[in-house]
Each structure stands twice: as C-alpha cells, then as structure tokens.
Amino acid sequence: MKKDEKTDALKKIRDEVWALECPLSLERRQNGVNAVLGEGSHDANVMFIGEAPGKNEAEQGRPFCGAAGRVLDELLASINMPRESVYITNIVKDRPTQNRDPSPEEIDLYAPFLDRQIEIIQPKIIATLGRFSMQYLMNRYGLSHALDSISKIHGQVFSADTSYGKVTFVPLYHPAVALYNGATRDELKEDFKVIKKYLEQTKDL
C-alpha cells in the first residue's frame, strides 16, 4: 500500500470512530473532547499499543501525551528511537469515564479499528503497553497458549503470522506503572533494549 493510500485508509478509520454511536462517544461529545486515533509514521516498523486514552489524551487528541507519555518518550530516547518513527495508539479510541479500565464490551467495539490500523501500517514489531492490549492482541494472533501475567512475560518475544507476514510481539508494562514504581522503569528500559535488538535483526533480513 502506497503512502497516500495508507493515509486515506487511516483517515477513513478516523472518520468512522468520530461518527461512532456508543456510550463513550456520547460522553466525548458531551464533554467536548476528542477521540484519539493514534500518531506517528504510517510506515512504522514498531507499533506501540496501549489500552485507552486518558484525560490529557482526550483533551489534545493525541496518544500518550501526559505523564505516562513522558515516560514513553524517555524510554524511546533510551534506545535512540525518535517518537515520530514509530506509531502509537490504543485499543479503545475514546476515554473511559474517570480513566477506569475499558470493559470487555468496549474493547470488542473498538478493536476492529485497531485491527485495520495494524493491517494498514504493517509493523514488524508490536509492543503492547499494559495487560489489556497484551491479552487482546495475543489472543487475536494465536498466542493465547503463551499468555500469562504481564509480570511474568514482559520483555519476552513472541512470533505470530499476520496477513502481511511474520510479526514480533513484545509485551511491556504500561508506562504509567513507572510513575508509581521506580523499579518498573528500570525493567521497562531493559525491555526496550529487546525491541531495539529485534528491530536491528529485521533490518538484516
């Protein structure tokens, strides 16, 4: 898919999300905030996927632009990976009330938009941020047998088949965890080195 075609396809998803009729989109309209589709390179080799936007994200219409986003930026900088070179998004595109966890029904509703984003961008590495995106995507791509608690499998590498070829999955802690637990920040930095290592390997293929 050419660059212009990717942009048009992603705009179509954006328009569909903005027009969506559901409880979260109703709250979005009532509160005068934004759906958060994602941002970054449409040709990204690495795609980071969280669970849902928070207050800052809904206000600005950008993913990971608050405190957790600053941690993510720090982690990207630690492996010399410019934020604009990756693609960052969430499963759920509207903010759940009071930043609560997304419900299974909300994940089911918004996940097809994420599936299409992945098919358009075709990343070589998908890094999940937090347990909700980890569980959804590992189940989605036939890795349910490998699922465990995020504390056990974070930083591990899994390979799966997609319509466009092999993809490498790396489950990660959500960056917000590092705001409350400094040790987790160190673990995240080590896990990001795994992403860098596998990205360098794909360049040699």
What pLDDT score was predicted for residue 204? 53
What pLDDT score was predicted for residue 200? 86
> Which tokens is 149 given?
């608690």
Closest listed residue to residue 69, CA positions, set 182, 77, 186: 77
Closest listed residue to residue 117, CA positions, set 161, 162, 156: 162
- As a whole number of angstroms, the distance between CA 3 and CA 196 comes to 25
> Where are the chain's structural domains?
3-203
DSSP class of residue 147?
-
Residue spans of the chain under pLDDT 70: 203-205
CATH architecture label of 3-203: 3-Layer(aba) Sandwich (3.40)
pLDDT tens, position by position, 69-82: 999 999 999 999 99
pLDDT tens, position by position, 100-121: 999 999 999 999 999 999 999 9
Round the average pLDDT of the chain to a whole number and report it: 94
Angle at 195 between CA 158 and CA 72, to 5 degrees: 120
Residues 114 and 184: beta-carbon distance below 8 Å = no
104: enclosing H helix or E strand:
helix 104-121
- As a whole number of angstroms, the distance between CA 91 and CA 126 comes to 13
User: Strand pairing partners for 90?
Assistant: 50
> Which tokens is 123 given?
């990343």
